[in-house]
Each structure stands twice: as structure tokens, then as C-alpha cells.
Structure 1
């Protein structure tokens, strides 16, 4: 599944964190119903974030100066 769908899934989970406890579980007097729901959704958001960021790569740009390179007064890069 693409990262865009995972991001939409996170937004749906965040929205459900408001709708379910305050709407559907609003009449439940025990606190642990909402707490359990929030814990499960929290784990699902962590899994979704892992799925979103699994394709990130740490690649350095090729056109940047390295520490060993010097830049002259006219802006030219010299090794």
C-alpha cells in the first residue's frame, strides 16, 4: 500500500479517537473503555508510521560540497 493511503489511515484513526470515545462510548461510565480504545489506536498509529517511513532513504545529494572541498571566492568548488 502506498504512503498516501497510510497517511489517510492515520487521519482516520485520529478522527476516530474523538468520535468513538466521546460519541459511541459517551454513555459508558467506566474509564477503561476509552483508555483501551486509545491504547489500541496508539499502537495502530505507530505501525502506520513505520509503514509510511519504511521507504525513506538517507542519500546525500551529489552536488553538495564535502568537508574536504573548498569553495573559492568566485563560488567554484575545488577538491
Structure 2
């Protein structure tokens, strides 16, 4: 198996998302999930995977929206 930069970014995204679900605290989970989804978005763009690009971008947007709502509740 040849490990290219693209596949390394994809693996990093997958591992980061898995790690995010092992964390406690919704805020931390969402923040780390945004990082992992961003890695996957870069990977999807590089490979031209349109349906996965849509999924990754949607997950990022939903996490950002929910973090914003959580921040507003804290005030």
C-alpha cells in the first residue's frame, strides 16, 4: 500500500473523527470533528468526490452552527 499525501490526509481525517467521538463534552467533540471533517474535505476535493465533499461540508457547517448556538446559550 502506497501512502500518498492525499491518502495520509484522508486517514488523518478519519482518525480525528473517531477520536472526537471518544471524547467527553459536546463542545470538544464538535471542535475536533470540525478538524477531522476539514481533513476529509481536502481529501474529497483532491479526489473529486462530490458526494463526500457535500457530506464533509455539511458536517462542518452543522457543527459550526451548533457551536455558535452553544456559545449564545453560555452568555
Give the TM-score of the pair, scaled to structure 1.
0.49
How many residues end up aligned between the 2 structures? 50
8 A Cα contact 2:37 2:56, kept in partner: yes
The equivalent residue for 1:17 is 41
Closer/same/farther in 2, CA of residues 37 and 46 from structure 1, 3 Å limit: same
The structure with more radius of gyration: 1
Gaps of 5+ in 2: 1-24
For residues 42 and 10 of structure 1, the distance between their equivalents in structure 2, rounded to whole angstroms, comes to: 9
CA RMSD across the alignment: 2.3
Moved over 6 A (4+): none
8 A Cα contact 2:44 2:50, kept in partner: no
Higher helix share: 2
Gaps of 5+ in 1: 60-79
Higher strand share: 1
Q: Are positions 1:41 and 2:65 aligned together?
A: no
